[in-house]
Structure 1
């Protein structure tokens, strides 16, 4: 089975081209994906993975994704072979994606919001930890102490 799921940030805007003859759109870009581990000095290394997307997903990438956007890519690894002008054979590995999902808004990406999101989220948790949980409005007198209401058998559709 050849399946890859990657989450990372675009290193530049996607490049869109069309296959001659068929006119199929093809978008290419590089995805920076952080490695799992942190070095002793606290830094992380990233892998820069070439991505190729075809069809409507390629047009989506070209129209809506920009440098720095956090995306999820679902596809498979492809190894292409080509011959240089000197006759030497080279291999090129890329990920051919079937699906690309934007994981944050354009505004969030332009503000470098991954860190802002973490800060805002943790601040909201700290500020709101004493707030009551969701309570339905209107029927509070009909609810038992555990928050469940009585249901008549005639109300059940089966």
Structure 2
């Protein structure tokens, strides 16, 4: 069996960072991903996909990502259930990320490249950063 998801998209808002009762960092953000569709040729639709990151990866994403940044997310799909405020049972789909790659530079960093968030900050390989211009992105 295989449960693997790879997404490339832009962050809808800045990542949130929380901590479990035992102190483990957990972060979350939403990625906007275009997909083909619609009534006219070339028309696209956008999916907004929730992403969860844990431990050191959550802290790195929280420190380095902001709304509008282009990322590649690799992980697994998770479906969870919860009761809403009216007691109605709801389901939520989210991607639990194992790797997050920063595919662009922050607007205020000039020509500085961002690291691969899946690695420890002491062991960064800057050659793995992919450089996309805004012209290459469909949204």
Task: Using structure 1 for the length normalisation, give the TM-score.
Answer: 0.64
How far off is 1:106 after superposition?
0.7
Q: How far does residue 61 in structure 1 lie from its aligned partner after superposition?
A: 0.8
Matches within 5 A, 1:3-152: 3-20=4-21, 22-37=22-37, 40=40, 42-107=42-107, 113-115=133-135
Equivalenced residues, count: 115
- Contact map agreement 1:70 1:109 (CA 8 A) in 2: no
- C-alpha spacing 1:89/1:62, structure 2 compared with 1 (3 Å): same
> Which secondary structure state, in structure 1, belongs to the residue aligned with residue 44 of structure 2?
coil
8 Å CA contact 1:76, 1:97 repeated in 2: yes
Q: Which has the higher helix share?
A: 1
Structure 1: gaps (5+ residues): 119-158
Q: Residue 75 of structure 2: SS of its match in structure 1?
A: strand
The farther-off stretch of 88-97 and 39-48 is: 39-48
Q: Which has the larger radius of gyration?
A: 1
Do the aligned partners of 2:36 and 2:43 also contact (CA within 8 Å) in 1? Answer: no
Q: Which residues of structure 2 form unaligned runs of 5+?
A: 111-132
Q: Aligned to 1:67, what secondary structure does the other structure show?
A: coil
The 3 A distance-change label for structure 1 pair 85 and 67 is: closer
Deviation string for 1:94-151 (max 9, x for gaps)? Answer: 11111111011113899xx411x68xxxxxxxxxxxxxxxxxxxxxxxxxxxxxxxxx
